Amino acid sequence: MGGEFETRWGKIVFYVLIILFVLMTISPLLWMAKMALVSQAELDAYPPTILPQSFDLTSFQTIFGDNRFRAGLVNSMVIAGATTVICLSVGSIAAYALARLEFGLRGPVLSMILAVAFFPAVAIIAPLFLQFSNWGMVNTYQSMIIPDVLFALPLTVYLLVAYFRELPLDIEEAAKVDGAGPMQTFFRVTLPLSIPGVVTTGLLCFIFAATEFLFANTFAFDSTTQPVTVIIPQFASQYRTDYGAQAAASMVVTIPLTILVLAFQRRIVSGLTAGAVK
Amino acid sequence: MAERATGPGTGARPSGGLVLGPLRTLTNEFTDKERRLAYILVTPALAIILAIALFPLLYAIWLSFQEIIINQSSSFVGLQNYVEMFQDPDFHSALRNTTVFTVLSVSLELVAGMAIALALSRAFKGRGIARATALAPWAFPPAIAAVMWRLMFQDQVGGGIVAYLIKSSGIYTHPILGNDAALIGAAVLVDAWKTTPFMALLLLAGLQVIPQDVYEATKVDGATSWQQFWRVTLPLVRPAMLVALLFRTLDAWRVYDLLWVMGNRQLNSLSVYVYNGVKISQLDFSLGNAAAVFVFLSSIAIAFVFIKVLGTRAVE
């Protein structure tokens, strides 16, 4: 498929399609930004104005003046942060064993962890809801962190196994010759050398937990624990006609996520697609 | 995976060792120091899976044969929950909506994703930018993507740009958010917007491992680009396609946030049905749980069909 374009027209059509693709991908973001930044009068105007005619920060004042929105941002950070830390701790040692140590059940263990990625989350919300109710754990951070860890774990292990395997074996072997045990080798050599991979994995864990919705919507009852993904759709009912506030809230959440993803774009793509071709 | 040959379950072993072999290997597994360490290291991960996935799943299956009233007694009722569920009109609409959504969104994403992957596999100016933007929508929380698009689908207001464009082009002139069929169509578009680029990146990775000389050779043989795609590219990219398709289909099959938010809580899907039973109306807890087990079993069936049908065809 590589190589030269056969005709001049082929080239033009090709570029038009690529530009169309890029436009379709980013125009909803630009439109949300516009809606968040224009005046109420312009938001109500019909037919819509394509280019912004006014500039107004009222929408951002509305959402940041809302206690539930601010609490939601904090809750999201706590839930996603805790999920990331737990996943990286549990996942990195498991991934090291799976990548570097020899043991008979390695294949089955790896398959079992990866199978969770295909497991429908909705299948376990009823029993978890019963258990959490019995233990007085509904409407707590743990009720979301626990299932989030489960579902972020396969991705964590999968990526870290790939990163650990990429490291040159002879460095680890040299550590072994110097008398280091496998655990020392892991903490002193393997882990420090794969920091970029661990950071990328942590970022993906964080994004996963920050975008999770089903558990959050089921187990969190009020703004003391509800993350921002649950709070914003509620805005749609609360600020029913304040479209600017809804747009501003969406922007506040998605812009940092987008920047993070774009910054780590290359690593994320190579990590996530490694398994598809192997 | 070389050491798998020493593990239990491999075929080539003398017949007498069929029983003793695995046992002997198993005892070895726990006496060797390094092997023991490996098991210790994977134990926390396995414990999480057992405690949070496997145990709740078995519990859910057991519960599905019980009539449950929250905080009260439960009694064994056999298959009654499933019978009631299959007679429930809400379950019918959930199953229908989920099926339509899954078929439409996955086929659209596959075709569009393949086209984009083919385009991105060429070398051209701005390819890096195109590839980077492809990842942006993927990082969006689906619930928030749904909120954004719901705004753009609003009828007769300044923010409803998509509704306005669709209306003025004459494709569909009724309010989109007022009708289930139109809502599902809209949700398919939103899902395609969010996931097609990611699908394209997965397929692109598959395309990039195809050696260039395969194309050169068919070119020498006088094959057109069209023939090249069907006879060379498609068969070679099939394994990557199978993984991407399976993943996307199972993902679409459990769709929840997108339909729930886009439809302002009114649009039903299998997961929404489970949620409504478990969280909203606790009288239907048993039905919701039965539907959850149904989602699990049907996911296994889908995976099985995919691997069986597409997997064997890839070998031929």
Per-residue pLDDT of A168-227, as tens digits, reads 888 888 888 888 888 888 998 889 989 989 999 999 999 999 999 999 999 999 989 999
- Minimum-distance CB partner of A211 among B131, B141, B154: B141
For residue A265, give how far its alpha carbon lies from the nearest alpha carbon of chain B (Å). 6
With cut-offs at 50, 70 and 90, classify the pLDDT of residue B13.
very low
pLDDT at B178 over 90: no
pLDDT for the residue B29: 65
Nearest in space to B259 (alpha carbons), one of B85, B93, B82, B84: B93
- Minimum-distance CB partner of B144 among A146, A243, A254: A254
Which residues, in sequence order, are CB contacts of B31 under 8 Å at separation 6+? none
Subunit contact A126:B288, Cβ cutoff 8 A: yes
User: What's the number of CA atoms in the CB half-sphere (13 Å) around residue B171?
Assistant: 10
pLDDT for the residue B21: 58
Residues 196-215, chain B: which have Cβ within 8 Å of A?
197, 201-202, 204-209, 212, 215
Tokens 């989920």: give the residue: B98
pLDDT for the residue A278: 41
3-state helix, strand, coil in chain B (%, to 5): 75, 0, 20
Angle in degrees, 0-180, between the axes of helices B180-208 and A265-277, rounded to the nearest 10: 80
Q: How many Cβ atoms from other residues are within 10 Å of residue B47's Cβ?
A: 11
Establish, for the pair of chains A and B, how many residue pairs have beta carbons separated by less than 8 Å.
Answer: 324
Nearest in space to B46 (alpha carbons), one of A86, A110, A102: A110
Full DSSP string of B266-297: -S--HHHHHHIIIII-GGGHHHHHHHHHHHHH
B253 has a chain A CB within 8 A of its CB: yes
Angle in degrees, 0-180, between the axes of helices B285-315 and A125-134, rounded to the nearest 10: 140
Phi, psi of A203 (to 5 degrees): -60, -45
* pLDDT tens digits, one per residue of B279-316: 877 678 889 999 999 999 999 999 999 888 776 554 44
- Minimum-distance CB partner of B139 among A97, A109, A261: A261
Tokens 């280019």: give the residue: A51
Written as one letter, the residue type at A172 is E
Say how many Å lie between the first and final Cα of chain B, rounded: 24
Subunit contact B278:A32, Cβ cutoff 8 A: no
* pLDDT tens digits, one per residue of B119-161: 888 878 888 888 888 888 888 899 999 999 998 998 877 778 8
CATH superfamily entry for domain A60-277: MetI-like (1.10.3720.10)
Residue of A nearest to B113 (CA): A21
Q: B63 by DSSP, 3-state: which?
A: helix
Residue numbers of chain A with a pLDDT score lower than 50: 1-3, 276-278
CA distance B142 to A257: 13
Task: Check if the beta carbon of residue A194 is closer than 8 Å to that of residue A114.
Answer: no
Task: Check if the beta carbon of residue B234 is closer than 8 Å to that of residue B283.
Answer: no
How much is the mean pLDDT over chain B? 83
In chain A, residues with a C-beta closer than 8 Å to the C-beta of B249 are none
Say how many Å lie between the first and final Cα of chain A, rounded: 21
CA distance A72 to B277: 26
Tokens 């009694």: give the residue: B75
pLDDT at B270 over 80: yes
- Minimum-distance CB partner of B116 among A21, A107, A112: A21
Full DSSP string of A177-201: HTT--HHHHIIIIIHHHTHHHHHHH
Strands (E), chain B: 66-68, 74-76
Interface test with B, best of A112, A113, A122 (most B CBs within 10 A): A122
Kindly report which listed range (B70-74, B78-82, B123-127, B219-223) carries the lowest average pLDDT score.
B70-74
pLDDT for the residue B2: 37
For residue A29, give how far its alpha carbon lies from the nearest alpha carbon of chain B (Å). 9
Which CATH architecture describes the domain B88-315? Orthogonal Bundle (1.10)
Task: Check if the beta carbon of residue A35 is closer than 8 Å to that of residue A43.
Answer: yes
- Could you tell me what percent of chain B has a pLDDT over 70? 86
Question: What value of ipTM does the predicted structure carry?
Answer: 0.88
Domain coordinates of chain A in residue numbers? Answer: 1-56, 60-277
pLDDT at B18 over 60: no
For residue A66, give how far its alpha carbon lies from the nearest alpha carbon of chain B (Å). 18
In chain B, residues with a C-beta closer than 8 Å to the C-beta of A226 are none
State the DSSP code for B78: T
Of residues B98 and B266, which shows the higher confidence score?
B98
CA distance A65 to A63: 5
pLDDT for the residue A73: 95
Subunit contact B296:A123, Cβ cutoff 8 A: yes
Give the gyration radius of chain A's Cα atoms: 23
pLDDT for the residue B3: 37
Q: B74 by DSSP, 3-state: which?
A: strand
Which residues, in sequence order, are CB contacts of A116 under 8 Å at separation 6+? A150, A151, A153, A154, B49, B53
With cut-offs at 50, 70 and 90, classify the pLDDT of residue B250.
very high
CA distance A244 to A36: 5
Strands B66-68 and B74-76, bridge-based pairing: antiparallel
- Minimum-distance CB partner of B49 among A96, A112, A257: A112
Q: B157 by DSSP, 3-state: which?
A: coil
Give the mean pLDDT of B102-111. Answer: 96
Which residues, in sequence order, are CB contacts of A94 under 8 Å at separation 6+? A113, A157, B41, B42, B44, B45, B46
Subunit contact A26:B133, Cβ cutoff 8 A: yes
Task: Check if the beta carbon of residue B130 is closer than 8 Å to that of residue A22.
Answer: yes
Task: Check if the beta carbon of residue B137 is closer than 8 Å to that of residue A221.
Answer: no
B150 has a chain A CB within 8 A of its CB: yes
pLDDT for the residue B1: 35
Q: How many Cβ atoms from other residues are within 10 Å of residue B57's Cβ?
A: 18
Domain coordinates of chain B in residue numbers? Answer: 88-315
Strand partners, A61: none
CA distances in angstroms from B155 to A31, B158, B282, listed in the order given: 16, 9, 35
Which residues, in sequence order, are CB contacts of A34 under 8 Å at separation 6+? A52
CA distance A187 to B304: 40
Question: For the stretch A196-234, what's the b/e string if a residue is b when 16 or more beta carbons lie within 10 angstroms of its beta carbon?
Answer: ebbebbbbbbbbbbbbbbbbbbbbbeebebbbbbbbbbb
CA distance A219 to B279: 9
Question: For the stretch B261-290, what's the b/e string if a residue is b when 16 or more beta carbons lie within 10 angstroms of its beta carbon?
Answer: bbbebebbbbbbbbbbbbbeeeebbbbbbb
CA distances in angstroms from B99 to A87, A220, B154, B262, B268, listed in the order given: 33, 29, 25, 17, 11
Give the mean pLDDT of B156-182. Answer: 82
User: B14: buried, middle or exposed (CB in 10 Å: 19+, 13-18, 0-12)?
Assistant: exposed
Interface test with A, best of B133, B209, B249, B287 (most A CBs within 10 A): B133
CA distance B111 to B98: 20
pLDDT at B12 over 50: no
pLDDT for the residue B47: 95
